[in-house]
Structure 1
């Protein structure tokens, strides 16, 4: 869990994103118990309704499921589903914008690929 929340974004969204991130990174495995509403409320000192809104969105999408009287658990296939969503968002948000800008600047596809290879090599040197 993050140590603090961002005041400029809806808290329920941040709670949702933290749980998603833990699933994608493998901190939370399929079938494993997710942090309880009470844990999140106590840790962040926030309203239980706010936590529930974020958690319930994940339940509605099949990322988490409820075991009555026990808590919330990570659904089978949740990690794959989240990764697929992120790939689609990456394509729409970053790749599309990059291609639009490349077209405006007259940058050929092979030049884009070369730039990406150079940057990836630089990233691997770290």
Structure 2
């Protein structure tokens, strides 16, 4: 049972910790998804507290309002990658950065602009 106390450095629900420790024994699909990197740290509804722990904010998740490990996973996981999170299931409103930093995208825009300039002078 969730203790419903603000916990920022470990599990708030011992049953969830056991699921993770035992690799979701009755849910092979969840274990496979976690093994493939589809984990809470990349969920649209994960609010990080620090480098490892965060709050599940997904109302449809059985772990709603629990402190969970970033490498945990669940069937309600909404993969938005390991970057900013929008707290929505609507992909129209989700971040499209794929977890890449703003420096990555700024550099890509610069490269595209330079390529476009070269393309205009080659005509």
TM-score > 0.5, shorter chain as reference: no
Bigger proportion of residues as helix:
1
Query: TM-score scaled by structure 2?
Result: 0.23
